[in-house]
Amino acid sequence: MRGMPSPSPLPRLLGGWGAPVLMFVIALVVAVPAAALSGATTPVVLGDAGAVVRWGLPLVGILHDLAAALTIGLLFVAAFLVPEGPSSDRRGTAARAAVGSAAVWLVTVVVGWYLSFGELAGVPPNTPGYLGDLWAATWQLEFTRLMAIEAIAVAVLLPLAAWARTKTALAWAAVLALASLAPAAYSGHSAGTVGHETAVTALGLHLVGLSVWVGGLLAIGLLLPILGPALPITVQRFSTVAGWAFAMVAVSGVLFASVTIGSPTRLGTSYGIIVLLKVGLLLLLGVAGYLQRRAIVARGVDSPRRFAWMASGELVLMSLAVGLGVVLTRTPPPQSIPKDRDIALSLTGFPMPQPWDWGQMLTAWRVDWLFAFAALTAVGLYAWGVWRLRRRGDSWPWWRLLVWVLGWGLLVYVTNGGPGVYGKVMFSIHMVEHIALMMAVPILLVPAQPITLALRALPKRRDKTLGPRELLLAVVHSRWATFFVNPIVAGTMFFASLVAFYWSGLLDWALTTHTGHVAMVVHFSITGYAFVWALIGRDPGPPKWQAPFRMLVLIATLAAHAFFGLALMQGAWLLAPEFYKTLAVPWVPDLLVDQQLGGAIAWGIGEAPTLVLMMLVAVDWMQRDSRESIRYDRKAARDDEAELRAYNARLQQLATHDRRST
C-alpha cells in the first residue's frame, strides 16, 4: 500500500485535478436541467441581459463554490489535519495546489462581478459603455460591492497561500480563505428577504460547512499520492470534522429554507422541490458518512484505494448538491418580500416591535441565530469537557458549569430577548444590551475557566500537528493575547470602545447593518471578557498583576465609565440623529430624554457589575495573600526559617557595622 501504484484508476483520478473537474461536470449536468425547470435562468424584471449572463452566472457560481471549497479544504487539511513526514512536503504540496484553486476562485469572482452587473442592470455585457458603467456602479450597488470585496480578499489570499509553508502560516491562510466567503453570505436571496439577519447567518454557516466538508474531502483526495503512512490519521481526523460540517450544513440549510420558503405548504414550488432534493442528498451523505465512520473507526483507512472508493461516492453526491444549491440561489423563492415595509423593517431589517413595557422587555423574543448557535456550541463543548474529565475520574466544580451556562444564557437573552429586540429601536435599551455584554456576561463566563477545562479535556497531538488543544495554547500564549489582557490595555480598550463607538458613525453602522450589529456584539463581548480576565481570570495566560494594581486599574476604568455615563446624561446633542428621527418610535416622544436615560443606565447599571468585580478582585487578593503566606510558612518549616534567619543575620551585620563606624 505505501506509495505503490494501485491497480484501480480511482486513486489516480482523485490524486490529481481530475476529481474537482469531474465534480464540476457532474454539478453542471444536474444544474442545467434544474435551472431550466426552476426559472433560475428566466430573464429578471429589469430586462433580459441575454443567455450569456443567464446561463453564465450559474455555471460560474458552481465553479466559484467548488474552487472556494477546494482552496479552503487544502489549507485546512494542511494546517490542522495532516502530519508532515521527515522527507515529505505534504503542506507545501497542499499550499501550491491551493494557489491554483484560489486563482480559479478569483477568476470566477471577477467573471461573476462582470456578468452580475448585466443582470442587475438588465443589459447584455456587449452593450456600449458596459464596463465603464460597471466600474462606476461597483461600489454603489451592494451586490457588486460585495463581489469586489471578495475579489480583493481572494487576491490577498493568493500570495499568502504561495508563501505559507508552516502550520501557523497555513492556519492564517485558512482563516482568510474562510473569511473571504463572508461577502457571498450577504448576497443572493439573503440580501432581500425578511429576516435578512437569519438568512445571512444561515448562508454563511452553510458556505463554511460545505467548503470545509467538500473541500477537505477533495483535498485529501488530491494529496492521496503523497500521504502514505499519514493517510489513516488524516482521514480519522477529517471524519470528526466532517461530522461537524454535516450538522452545520444541515441546520443552516434548513434555517435558510425556513426563511425563503416560509411555510411547508410552499414545498411544492420549484424552489421547495430543489430544497427537498438536497435534503435527500444530505441524508444519503449522512448514511454514507456513518458507514464510513464505522469502517474507519473499526479498521482505519489503510490504503489509498479504499479511501478513493469511500470518497468518490460521497463526492458524486456532493457535486449534485452543489449543482442544485447554486441553482437554488438563482431560483425565485416562494416567500415574497412584503410590499408594506414599515420604516423599522427598512432601517433595521426587523418590523417595529410592540410598544415597550416591562412585560415586553421580559417576553419579547426574536431569535438571533448566530449568537444562539454560538451559545449552544459553547455550552455543549463545555459540558462535553466536564463529562470527559469526570469520566476519567478528575473533578471539576459544578458551580463553574453553572456560571458558564448562566453567562451564555444571559448573552442569549440580551441578543435574542427584550434587550436585543428593543435595543434596535431605543437608545436606552441599546445601552442595557451594551453594558450587559461588556460587564455582566464576562463576570459570569471568566470564573468558569473555560481554557483550563479545554486544556485538561482536549487530547494532546503527538505528531506536531495543530489540533484544537495546540491551537488554544498557541492563542493563549501569543503576544497578542498577552498584549490585550494587560490590565492597562484592557482597561483602555474598555473605555476607548465606549468613546469610539458612540462618538463616531459606528453606532449608526451597528443599528442599520447586520455586519455592524454582529461586530458590535462581538467587540463588546471580547473587550469586556479581556478586561474581566485581566482582573480576576485564573485560566493559563500571561502572569497576573499584583492585586492592588489591578484594583487601581478597575477604579480608574470605573471613573472613566462614570464620566461617559454623565456625559450622556448631560449631553444636549443626539447620537445617530437621522436614524432615530427617521425611525420615530411611537412610544419614545423625546429622543434626547431616552438618550439621557441611556446615560443614566450606563452609569447606574454599569456600577453594579463593577462593584462585583471589585469584590472578586479583593477576594482574589486575599486568597493569593493567604496562599502566599501558606507557601512561606511551608518553606520556613522546610528550611527552618532560613529566610528569616538570613534577614536577621543581615540586620545583625548592619548593626555591627554601624556600631563600628560610629
Which of 243, 309, 310, 253 has the alpha carbon at shortest distance from 281?
253
Q: Tell me whether residue 61 or residue 609 sits nearer to ligand HEM (CB atom).
A: 61
**Interface stretch with ligand HEM, choices 246-254, 403-411, 594-602, 643-651 (CB under 6 A):** 246-254
Q: Does 65 bind ligand HEM (CB under 6 A)?
A: yes
Least Cβ distance, residue 107 to ligand HEM (angstroms): 16
Least Cβ distance, residue 99 to ligand HEM (angstroms): 22
Q: Does 257 bind ligand HEM (CB under 6 A)?
A: yes
Count the alpha carbons within 13 Å of 415 in the hemisphere toward its beta carbon: 27
Q: Does 218 bind ligand HEM (CB under 6 A)?
A: no
Least Cβ distance, residue 260 to ligand HEM (angstroms): 5
Beta bridge partners of 44: 47
Q: Does 256 bind ligand HEM (CB under 6 A)?
A: yes
Binding residues for ligand HEM, how many (CB under 6 A)? Answer: 31
Q: Does 326 bind ligand HEM (CB under 6 A)?
A: yes
Least Cβ distance, residue 266 to ligand HEM (angstroms): 12
Q: Tell me whether residue 246 or residue 494 sits nearer to ligand HEM (CB atom).
A: 246
**Interface stretch with ligand HEM, choices 161-169, 200-208, 386-394, 475-483 (CB under 6 A):** 200-208
Q: Does 254 bind ligand HEM (CB under 6 A)?
A: yes
The three cell numbers of residue 2 are 505505501
The three cell numbers of residue 208 are 463554511
Least Cβ distance, residue 317 to ligand HEM (angstroms): 8
Q: Residue 584: CB partners within 8 Å, gap ≥ 6?
A: 343
Q: Tell me whether residue 253 or residue 598 sits nearer to ligand HEM (CB atom).
A: 253
Q: Residue 324: CB partners within 8 Å, gap ≥ 6?
A: 30, 31, 34, 274, 277, 278, 281
Q: Does 591 bind ligand HEM (CB under 6 A)?
A: no
**Separation of alpha carbons 587 and 354, rounded Å:** 10
**Separation of alpha carbons 658 and 662, rounded Å:** 6
**Interface stretch with ligand HEM, choices 247-255, 424-432, 557-565, 600-608 (CB under 6 A):** 247-255
Q: Does 325 bind ligand HEM (CB under 6 A)?
A: yes
Q: Does 216 bind ligand HEM (CB under 6 A)?
A: no
What single string gives the DSSP state of each residue in 569-582?
HH--S-SSHHHHHH
**Interface stretch with ligand HEM, choices 201-209, 369-377, 540-548, 608-616 (CB under 6 A):** 201-209
What single string gives the DSSP state of each residue in 516-534?
HHHHHHHHHHHHHHHHHHH
Least Cβ distance, residue 271 to ligand HEM (angstroms): 7
Q: Tell me whether residue 337 or residue 654 sits nearer to ligand HEM (CB atom).
A: 337
Which amino acid belongs to residue 386?
V
In three-state form (DSSP H/G/I as H, E/B as E, the rest C), the secondary structure along 269-292 is CHHHHHHHHHHHHHHHHHHHHHHH
Among 329, 415, 449, 465, binds ligand HEM (CB under 6 A): 329
**Interface stretch with ligand HEM, choices 234-242, 281-289, 361-369, 615-623 (CB under 6 A):** 281-289
Exposed / middle / buried, residue 472 (Cβ in 10 Å: 0-12, 13-18, 19+)? middle
**Interface stretch with ligand HEM, choices 325-333, 482-490, 550-558, 642-650 (CB under 6 A):** 325-333
**Interface stretch with ligand HEM, choices 328-336, 484-492, 514-522, 636-644 (CB under 6 A):** 328-336
CB of 301 closer than 8 Å to CB of 307 = yes
Query: Quick one: DSSP state of residue 44?
Result: B
Least Cβ distance, residue 322 to ligand HEM (angstroms): 4
Which amino acid belongs to residue 523?
H
Distance of CA 289 to the CA centre of its chain: 25
**Interface stretch with ligand HEM, choices 273-281, 300-308, 369-377, 621-629 (CB under 6 A):** 273-281
The three cell numbers of residue 224 are 492521496
Least Cβ distance, residue 348 to ligand HEM (angstroms): 22
Query: CA triplet 654, 656, 660: central angle to 5 degrees?
Result: 115
Q: Does 34 bind ligand HEM (CB under 6 A)?
A: no
State residue 339 phi and psi, 5-degree precision: -65, -50
Which of 506, 507, 502, 182 has the alpha carbon at shortest distance from 370?
182
Q: Does 61 bind ligand HEM (CB under 6 A)?
A: yes
Among 35, 57, 208, 328, binds ligand HEM (CB under 6 A): 328
Count the alpha carbons within 13 Å of 541 in the hemisphere toward its beta carbon: 26
Compute the residue count for the chain: 662
**Separation of alpha carbons 211 and 71, rounded Å:** 9
The site map against ligand HEM for 161-190 (x = CB under 6 A) is -----------------------x---xx-
Among 322, 431, 448, 518, binds ligand HEM (CB under 6 A): 322
Name the residue with cell 484501480: 8
Which of 329, 303, 459, 416 has the alpha carbon at shortest distance from 65?
329
Phi-psi label, residue 50: left if phi above 0, alpha if psi -120 to 50, beta otherwise: left
Among 54, 167, 278, 517, binds ligand HEM (CB under 6 A): 278
Least Cβ distance, residue 203 to ligand HEM (angstroms): 6
Name the residue with cell 485535478: 17
Among 215, 304, 333, 447, binds ligand HEM (CB under 6 A): 333
Q: Does 594 bind ligand HEM (CB under 6 A)?
A: no
State residue 138 phi and psi, 5-degree precision: -50, -45
Residues that bind ligand HEM (CB under 6 A): 61, 65, 184, 188-189, 203, 206-207, 210, 214, 249-250, 253-254, 256-257, 260, 275, 278-279, 281-282, 285, 318, 321-322, 325-326, 328-329, 333
